[in-house]
Structure 1
Amino acid sequence: MKILPVEKIREADAFTIENEPIDSVDLMERAASKVYDWFMKRCKTKEVSVKIFCGIGNNGGDGLALARMLFFTGIIPQVFIVRFSDKMSRDCEMNFNRLKEETETPMYDIFSEDDFPLINEKDIVVDAIFGSGLNRNIEGFAAELIKHLNDNNAIRIAIDIPSGLHALGSQQTTDNGQKSSFKSHNSHQIFKADYTLSFQFPKLAFMFPENDAFVGRWEVLDIGLHKDFIDNVETLNFYTTEDMAMPILRKRTKFSHKGTYGHALLVAGSSGKTGAALLAAEACLRTGVGLLTAHLPKDALLPMQIYLPEAMTSIDKSETHCTEIDDIIPYTAIGVGPGIGKNAETTTLLKKIIQEATQPLVLDADALNIISENPTWLSFLPDNTILTPHPKEFERLFGKTNNSYERLELQRKMSVIHNIIIVLKGAHTAITFPNGTCFFNSTGNPGMATAGSGDVLTGMILSLLAQRYTPQEAALLGVYLHGKAGDEAAKEIGENSMIARDIVKSIDN
């Protein structure tokens, strides 16, 4: 699913209006009907108090059209027009007049704080004040209204985007790169939605953790924008859905054998961190690799043989850490990092692998920490090497940023400059590619925030690389399947009780 900037969404609207063809007010009607359908599926009674707050632009028009539809269903909403300007958009005014002429919906104007209605916890508050085109902070009585709407326990629903939240997130520029008056989010100036209903596309802002308190649970409503435009419009940002990820997964063929599915080398483990090697190794095998060799310190041999007899082993001369490997040529793909520590000899080994490997590489954990202490190594990473940092590891590698938007742009820049794939782990894990595109993952849950979860992901990506998926496919599919396995584990065990092994056990689901 594509994530479009506001200017492209406007182009999609215009293209649909011209080529369907459809009048803009009828397209607004279609959008409002999707919100209405969503609402009615969840509303168990008509005895419900709905307060709809409408601006004077097209977002307000959506709210006014929704109010009319609810009225004819028998739900009588209260509508409040937020008069921060004396001008209404054409379509908003048309829906305002229709609501006034065709229904007996109670309507009130808000010109100042004196006009604010009381909100109680049994109300359903609908935000249709400011749409996705906002690129400045909300000021004046409108800002105070947002604060007023947030200061209660009512159910809050945002149409398209919470008012006050910039569609691109926490940045200081508009979609076309021009500086805007928007400087930084003030939480008192952003509507805090329990549910956000986004039209046709998710917004980039939904992907960022600092916006979670405002967005709540979000859904994309298909309002039927023209398929030709959607198929052909270019964008840098995507949201990975099942229909994008699962077609990548190949079926096994009848006459295949273990050699068909590759031979992975996993360099992992050190004193006190053997568990990381075990988790990554099992995840690698469970994801379908034909053969796995785990290069381990001597101390890790017995635990590996007992825990995972299916794994072959290459034993280091050191009891406690990895120092050297005789030959990396036989392997289809190489993964380095889970639990290896930062011993000087391990550092030398990592550098040797990076310099000599011709196979696809995935680097995680301590491998990333070593590189962060040797930043010039980034310049000689093999093309399409996959790095899988969590936010702190990313910061150590590439530097601090002020917010998630800046971090995304830095991540994108580093992928392009170094020709590498960066998997930045999080609630919507962000994968950036050397062509500048970014794919945000749709699977996963908070139960996966547990020790060893990242080691499992490394093993899964390594497995896919060894099976000769391209690095791009391995990163995208590995992250998606990792999150999906986590979701299956959460269903069985619950998020609070999940451990990394539960994710591994759910890979086959």
Structure 2
Amino acid sequence: MLKLITDKEMREADVYTCAHSGISSTELMEQAATAFTKIFVTDISPIRHITVIAGTGNNGGDGLAIARLLRIKGYPNIQVICLDDFANASEDFTINKERLHSLKIPFETARTPEQLPQHFDVVIDAVLGSGLNRELSSFLKSSFAHINKNSQYTVSVDIPSGCSADRFTFENYEGIRADLTICFQRPKLLFTLPESSVVTKAFKFTEIGLDETYLTTIPTDYYWTDETAVQKLLHKRKAFTHKGTYGHALVVSGNTQTKGASLLTAKAALFSGAGLVTLLSEADYFPYINIYQPELMTADKDDLKILDYAKYQCIATGPGMGTDNDQRKQLLFLLQQKQPMVLDADALNLLTTDLLKQYIKQPVILTPHVKEFDRLFGKHTNWYDRIQTAKAKAKELHCVIVLKNQYTYIFNEEGKVFINATGNPAMAQGGMGDVLTGCITGFLARGYCAFYAAVVGCFVHGKAGDELAESYEVTPASVVAEQIPLTVRRLLSGGKD
């Protein structure tokens, strides 16, 4: 997992790296510019007209180095415009300005917004960077507004100018509104919040050579779930194992008009590697289950209270279940069986915080979307506050919370937050949450602890959708479930087919 750190800590890592590796700040800047350029050239064609808008600090120095590297890489149409709003130029800015001369890249200074071009094709924003420590001047506000209005496409260096990495408010934002931001060394927690779309529509991050050993020593509650970490968490199936080795999951879900939800959950648990999956249902529905997925076992809903729950390693309930009094009684009965559980959808709608405190005596994973979360834990006006509540509730209730969004947040009972970045808009269809519930359930049945089952399940679910989205505009939930074994195989083999 990659630790996410504050802007102040990132600047301290810059200083540490230079002091302990023998590299100068100018050389580190060159590494950052090289890493930025490597991503930029994969997205932007050399035929585009590039305008680097720079300040005179180190972010501006990054911009000048990027302009030079792009020219060397065959981008002929590059100009640099420096905004004259700064008292002094940094040493690294001055060095990189001198390096531009030999390549004859046009360099101009704008002292008023009117001196900026009326239209931009591609803007590289390198004005302020992450070290913003003052209110924007009227000149910068007007210049940024002009760029936002007249740029076809804007790419920010590390962070959009005018945005603070460690302030999680977006009201009255007057900075650069980027189409893409290329961050240095780590993603920024800020950009995982849905409100951050006013700052940047998308972001990528790239290593620039900071001392990773030092970065791992910085304390944090926030972690980025990367592929390498998930590969280490995955258990490879071994010789002389059998279906009993990989656990037995019970799915209690679905109602008269929502049988599909229970089928998708059970199917995903099966395809995520559970040795056995039993679906609780009305007896007259058994033939349809056998036709849909013959590997699924069945149990009669009328036998709910006489089942031998000791034979199940975990229970999943909630998708399509319904919220009447019978379902509530059923849910409370299941909670009393003290088996590890995944609670989703209507199971969450039937619960209260007091009931959770009363009944949670075993590992439990809650998988709410935003409306379910706020119904359980109180209404929130922004996502940063919602994350803080989820941290506190996971600790208070001794459970795992999976707060679903484009970047899903996974909270453990120690208050740690793991951010999942897999998944894509092609997965925006009904039933996708049911498959996620089943995927987490499958790993829970196999013996993963609740937290790791949630971390691995979320990553694998989204990664399966990402792989499908390379070929398909839409990836239905049932297809994602069928992709899961192939995704896991690729992860276990280091990405090789």
**Residues 488 and 39 of structure 1: is their aligned pair in 2 closer, same or farther, counting only changes over 3 Å?**
closer
Matched ranges for 1:110-509 at <5 A: 110-120=110-120, 123-134=121-132, 138-168=136-166, 170-171=168-169, 184-187=170-173, 189-212=174-197, 214-298=199-283, 300-317=285-302, 324=305, 326-357=307-338, 359-371=339-351, 374-380=352-358, 381-382=360-361, 384-495=363-474, 498-509=475-486
Cα separation, 2, equivalents of 1:311 and 1:352: 23
**Residues 294 and 168 of structure 1: is their aligned pair in 2 closer, same or farther, counting only changes over 3 Å?**
farther
Counterpart AA for 2:344: D
**Residues 464 and 73 of structure 1: is their aligned pair in 2 closer, same or farther, counting only changes over 3 Å?**
closer
Cα separation, 1, equivalents of 2:219 and 2:457: 25
SS of 2:402's equivalent in the other structure is strand
Cα separation, 2, equivalents of 1:343 and 1:24: 64
Counterpart AA for 1:61: G
**Residues 37 and 460 of structure 1: is their aligned pair in 2 closer, same or farther, counting only changes over 3 Å?**
closer
Cα separation, 2, equivalents of 1:48 and 1:335: 52
Runs of 4+ more than 6 Å apart: none
SS of 1:266's equivalent in the other structure is strand
Residue 153 of structure 1 deviates from its aligned partner by 4.8
- The more displaced of 151-160 and 268-277 is 151-160
**1:33 alignment partner in structure 2:** 34
- Structure 2 regions of 5+ residues with no counterpart? 487-497
Residue 333 of structure 1 deviates from its aligned partner by 1.0
Pair 1:63 & 2:66 matched:
no
Cα separation, 1, equivalents of 2:89 and 2:208: 23
Cα separation, 2, equivalents of 1:21 and 1:402: 47
1:64-123: CA deviation from partner (whole Å, max 9, x where unpaired): 222333455663632222232323334334434x24765543322233323222224xx2
Q: TM-score, normalised to structure 2's length?
A: 0.91
Cα separation, 2, equivalents of 1:383 and 1:229: 37
**Residues 426 and 136 of structure 1: is their aligned pair in 2 closer, same or farther, counting only changes over 3 Å?**
farther
- The more displaced of 103-112 and 275-284 is 103-112
- The more displaced of 63-72 and 254-263 is 63-72
Native 8 Å contact 1:423 1:429 kept in 2 = yes
**Residues 31 and 292 of structure 1: is their aligned pair in 2 closer, same or farther, counting only changes over 3 Å?**
same
**Residues 63 and 508 of structure 1: is their aligned pair in 2 closer, same or farther, counting only changes over 3 Å?**
same
1:318-370: CA deviation from partner (whole Å, max 9, x where unpaired): 9xxxx74544222111111111111212212212222331x321110100001
Cα separation, 2, equivalents of 1:476 and 1:250: 14
1:96-152: CA deviation from partner (whole Å, max 9, x where unpaired): 4x24765543322233323222224xx221100121233666441211211111113
Cα separation, 2, equivalents of 1:44 and 1:457: 38
Cα separation, 1, equivalents of 2:330 and 2:43: 58
- Structure 1 regions of 5+ residues with no counterpart? 172-183
| Alignment size in residue pairs | 483
- The more displaced of 148-157 and 124-133 is 148-157
Native 8 Å contact 1:269 1:300 kept in 2 = no
1:192-229: CA deviation from partner (whole Å, max 9, x where unpaired): 22221111111112212222353234221211111221
Cα separation, 2, equivalents of 1:134 and 1:10: 12
Instruction: Among all aligned residue pairs of Structure 1 and Structure 2, give the percentage whose two residues are the same amino acid.
Output: 38
Native 8 Å contact 1:316 1:325 kept in 2 = no
Cα separation, 2, equivalents of 1:419 and 1:3: 24
**Residues 100 and 270 of structure 1: is their aligned pair in 2 closer, same or farther, counting only changes over 3 Å?**
closer
Cα separation, 2, equivalents of 1:147 and 1:361: 51
**Residues 41 and 428 of structure 1: is their aligned pair in 2 closer, same or farther, counting only changes over 3 Å?**
closer
Counterpart AA for 2:57: G
1:434-457: CA deviation from partner (whole Å, max 9, x where unpaired): 122111112111121211111111
Residue 385 of structure 1 deviates from its aligned partner by 1.3
Residue 42 of structure 1 deviates from its aligned partner by 5.2
Cα separation, 1, equivalents of 2:79 and 2:426: 40
1:7-61: CA deviation from partner (whole Å, max 9, x where unpaired): 211121111011002222221122122223334455554x642211112322112
Counterpart AA for 2:370: P
Native 8 Å contact 2:154 2:180 kept in 1 = yes
Residue 284 of structure 1 deviates from its aligned partner by 0.9
Cα separation, 2, equivalents of 1:137 and 1:363: 46
Cα separation, 1, equivalents of 2:249 and 2:313: 6
Native 8 Å contact 2:3 2:216 kept in 1 = no
Native 8 Å contact 2:395 2:415 kept in 1 = yes
Cα separation, 1, equivalents of 2:136 and 2:384: 20
Cα separation, 1, equivalents of 2:426 and 2:163: 28
SS of 2:388's equivalent in the other structure is helix
Native 8 Å contact 1:58 1:89 kept in 2 = yes
**2:489 alignment partner in structure 1:** none
**Residues 251 and 190 of structure 1: is their aligned pair in 2 closer, same or farther, counting only changes over 3 Å?**
same
**Residues 383 and 329 of structure 1: is their aligned pair in 2 closer, same or farther, counting only changes over 3 Å?**
closer
Cα separation, 2, equivalents of 1:198 and 1:346: 47
**Residues 139 and 302 of structure 1: is their aligned pair in 2 closer, same or farther, counting only changes over 3 Å?**
farther
Residue 254 of structure 1 deviates from its aligned partner by 1.6
Counterpart AA for 1:337: G
Counterpart AA for 1:287: S
